[in-house]
Amino acid sequence: NAGVTQTPKFQVLKTGQSMTLQCAQDMNHNSMYWYRQDPGMGLRLIYYSASEGTTDKGEVPNGYNVSRLNKREFSLRLESAAPSQTSVYFCASSVSGRGYGYTFGSGTRLTVV
Amino acid sequence: KNEVEQSPQNLTAQEGEFITINCSYSVGISALHWLQQHPGGGIVSLFMLSSGKKKHGRLIATINIQEKHSSLHITASHPRDSAVYICAVRSERETSGSRLTFGEGTQLTVNP
């Protein structure tokens, strides 16, 4: 059982380049999330999808877009990367409701130069 | 002031010591999570609780809803417990999904 699979694990981008972070879960979870983690700060929510077919902004959505492709997959796109987007990105999923089964991917370390 | 505050930020202990990490929050919640992040970066859910106490092996988590406070205890600590421990809460106003608000984490180092 793979849980939450994130790709890639590492990425270096030049300012202005675009890329998509992929996330897939095999636990039949309804809800999926993208968080970023920066030094000295707690994880912050970028976007989330409470259920298939819906997406909503989180705390720090600027510069990002998401697609809930199907129940399994939730991708995060940076259209024009900026150095401020250098961070570690985590995808997560949970059963809807209180958050039973909250499971995180292994993270993507992104550096924008 | 952050909605979720953890203390201490850093904690160094000797193997075998009893460890307590504290989490205070300022909003009404429906659930609180304790997570563990190892040096490799992966995040693992340890507990989800909304009242009382939960125990798993040497780990114990408690929550006092009235006081808006939770504690994570580690008994007989071991160097392999060295990690960042993160507290996160789900707001009671959350209607769908489970967006979490995170504390900054507590870096625990257990020396042999």
| Section A81-107 average pLDDT | 90
SS3 B64: strand
Q: Tell me what pLDDT residue B85 has.
A: 98
Angle at A41 between CA A95 and CA B2, to 5 degrees: 80
pLDDT-derived band of residue A4, with 50, 70 and 90 as boundaries?
A: very high
Q: Give CA–CA dist B98/A85, Å, rounded.
A: 24
Among candidates A50, A99, A106 on the partner chain, residue whose Cβ is nearest the Cβ of B41: A106
Mean pLDDT by 10 residues, chain B (112 residues): 90 97 94 92 91 96 96 97 96 81 96 96
What average pLDDT score do residues A75-103 get?
90
Specify the higher pLDDT residue, A54 or B1: A54
A34 pLDDT band, cuts 50/70/90, is very high
Rounded mean pLDDT, A48-70: 94
Chain-chain contact of A42 with B98 (C-beta, under 8 angstroms): no
Query: Residue A40: what pLDDT?
Result: 84
User: What pLDDT, on a 0 to 100 scale, did the predictor assign at position A42?
Assistant: 87
Contact B97 A107 (CB under 8 A): no
Q: What is the pLDDT of residues A7-30, one digit of tens each?
A: 999 999 999 999 999 999 999 999
Query: Tokens 């997959």 — which residue?
Result: A73
Residues 6+ apart with CB under 8 A from A17: A80, A81
CB-based contact, A61 to chain B, within 8 Å: no
* Interface residues of chain B, partner chain A, Cβ below 8 Å: 2, 4, 30-31, 33, 35, 41-45, 48, 50, 86, 88, 90, 96-105
pLDDT of residue A10: 96
Closest residue to B97, CB basis, from A35, A43, A48:
A48
Measure in Å the smallest separation between the Cα of B15 and chain A Cα atoms: 27
Please determine, for residue A99, whether its predicted confidence score (pLDDT) is greater than 90: no
State how far the Cα of B76 lies from the Cα of B18, in Å rounded to an integer: 6
In this prediction, residue B99 carries a pLDDT of 87
Give every CB contact of residue A49 below 8 A, 6+ residues apart in sequence.
Answer: A31, A32, A33, A55, A56, A66, A68, A74, B97
Cβ neighbourhood burial of A46 (10 Å; 0-12, 13-18, 19+): buried
